[in-house]
Structure 1
């Protein structure tokens, strides 16, 4: 899972800091940043397609082969990002090649979250599912620490050296992480829960399993709506801090790029610790209170976030980013993995999680840096339209969590069908609330 997020974090940092002048030198500073963020968003538009195709195979054949394939594709695509010549060398073909590599990243990434969360959720006891699935999300923070930290170090290189080729090093170096990920995934066995369900289906009928997506739409339409909406708050808050804020601090506030990159390192580094802690809280108090609490906190905090950034005081900027990402944003992904895995039945869980996650990411995840940059430009540098945008997305998450309480508990259905049920945990709140 960390491979995917390292790849995406790396590209996000490069989009905010250096891709504008390298691939769009004919544009203004704002125009180059917008163009870079537009290509950043390209991968998110193909993620649902990649995710649904991979998840379809994962629900019919198994989780393991898809997880190996997707991490391979992501690794190849990320190394390829570091290879194309810049605009100065080949003109318009430079951004075109960048788009193609980004499309490959998106296809590979589409199934990564759903596959990792599904596999972990089907391996671990239900009363520890919040904690263990949260590590998939905590890897996001670690990926941003590594990628943004690398660009922070590269920022110390003389300006003429960075565009000359040093920026390629983090992308090409990702082959090391890719190799480790492949080694680990090839040795992981298929999940016991999937094997049990597949065996049961095979014993009960000789007909092939129905198309998982159609079955999910037919059997769980309210759950799919909840799944799609619930990611709104965390996707927007996450990409606002870890990608857009790099550009906002550097270009709008005209502060040092070092402050911007250090802010992301501090913020995402904090989440490596806080996301699993919120996963523990989700196991103790239920999934929805933690997810709801993160969205409410983020909505209330967002005006103060920009007030702190606008002080242009390095210490306050770091603190603002650390709180936004380490508290509000971390609470949501800390509980989301378990929340989504328990919305859907095992036989179509992979597909349903992929659809839920990737549709929302396509609409709000990759587009957030672009939207936020455009809103700041439209308001002559003021961030308050961005604040309204972020708050509106938190409201979508809050509404979805409240709607969830009217849906079925598929996790209970899964437990009832298991020969040896594992210890249960209240999915919706304490004492089965």
Structure 2
């Protein structure tokens, strides 16, 4: 039996771990939101100017989507290392890759300068960014869960979700500030500023992350010699059903985030001919509300269980799927903000919050990082193509088809949560269990 850490050391280590996970997630979602917003506002014009406006937007969204295609591959490879060499090492690698790529995009020459080389370089850096992001959020969930106690795991495992809101808020705030620029100035140099700010965030993140100790549970696995050398094979042998259920359960926050953060801005500006400000304000308001909703949902999940709170978020998304578009079509700036707060700031954020503890508790410590990341990254390709799919559905069939996509995804996720276990009942994330150096053996499925 390992000796428990002193309360002071444990509290200090937990605080550092939570701060590290938070800053990494802020950077990840700042990067991706900045890229998505820049895609809606500038990248189509700057990197694909030889085609029509609609085709340019589609091409830019396709480049945006390419980044999500690599996320499952990167997520599996890097997450595997997290189960073999440690969670902390993987998180440092992720942070460096994301920062280099984001800063590089801000320095790229445009099509008018270097021709076809410009979109090629954009795709390459987008892929590097995606490799780094592939295991960032899932590993942050793993670390947060493994530093927590069973009693507060829902709350602490929701902290990376706060990083999502903070990252998007930061990105939206930067673009809102730049909205005062004229179109000429914004396309000439203003679009670069958000990417260069992201590069600076890396240094803050690295300073914090390098001071964090390895997770208590992985440390215990090393001491007992129970580290799995091929965690992916072990995961698929013993947890196949749970991987599928977990992937379906979290697909709504993946798809919903892209619909409400990225596509909604393009829909308001391109289809409804509105200025970008109302949609950007709505995204900011949704994420501000999310800063309250996320910890509250995590705390409720600790008290009443993961499943009922998770389902509350998913059914909220389903209920507001069509009213969301009805409110946007009023072209009333206040109602646009209300729409984004209801479906995104409340519905999606509840689901995102609870998914932290839910995913971590679905898998035993030996394969947890691989399981969490594989479950999350499995739906990332669909999420990445969501703005592209939604744009195509809008052009062919109108907004109602996009509403069907939103509602259908939420109901599929709800079905998966209903079919899956109430993970909070047995505390399978096991910080308390692993403090004695014992790993729970999951039954083969």
Contact 2:248–2:413 (Cα < 8 Å) also in 1: yes
Residue 142 of structure 1 corresponds to: 166
Report whether the alignment pairs 1:57 with 2:81: yes
Equivalent residue for 2:396, pick from 350, 369, 378: 378
The 1-side partners of 2:335 and 2:122 are apart by 35
The 1-side partners of 2:304 and 2:99 are apart by 37
Residue 336 of structure 1 corresponds to: 355
Residue 27 of structure 2 corresponds to: 3
The 1-side partners of 2:421 and 2:355 are apart by 15
Report whether the alignment pairs 1:26 with 2:50: yes
Residue 296 of structure 2 corresponds to: 277
* Cα displacement string for residues 22-71 of structure 1 (whole angstroms, at most 9, x for unaligned residues): 11112222211111111111111001111111111110111111111110
The 1-side partners of 2:59 and 2:280 are apart by 20
Equivalences for residues 305-344 of structure 1 within 5 A: 305-344=324-363
- Report the CA distance shift for 1:413/1:293 in structure 2 as closer, same or farther (over 3 A): closer
The Cα of 1:250 is off from its aligned counterpart by: 0.6
Residue 399 of structure 1 corresponds to: 415
Displacement over 3 Å in runs of 4+:
406-421
Moved more, 209-218 or 99-108: 209-218
Report whether the alignment pairs 1:108 with 2:132: yes
The 1-side partners of 2:211 and 2:376 are apart by 27
Count of residues in Structure 1 that have an aligned counterpart in Structure 2: 414
The 1-side partners of 2:399 and 2:153 are apart by 38
The 1-side partners of 2:429 and 2:57 are apart by 48
- Report the CA distance shift for 1:360/1:300 in structure 2 as closer, same or farther (over 3 A): same
The Cα of 1:201 is off from its aligned counterpart by: 2.5
TM-score by length of 2: 0.89
The 1-side partners of 2:424 and 2:327 are apart by 42
Report whether the alignment pairs 1:90 with 2:107: no
Report whether the alignment pairs 1:41 with 2:65: yes
Contact 1:343–1:408 (Cα < 8 Å) also in 2: no
- Report the CA distance shift for 1:182/1:30 in structure 2 as closer, same or farther (over 3 A): same
Residue 264 of structure 2 corresponds to: 245
TM-score by length of 1: 0.92
Contact 2:173–2:284 (Cα < 8 Å) also in 1: yes
The Cα of 1:413 is off from its aligned counterpart by: 8.3
Structure 2: give runs of 5+ residues left out of the alignment: 1-24, 438-445
- Report the CA distance shift for 1:179/1:415 in structure 2 as closer, same or farther (over 3 A): closer
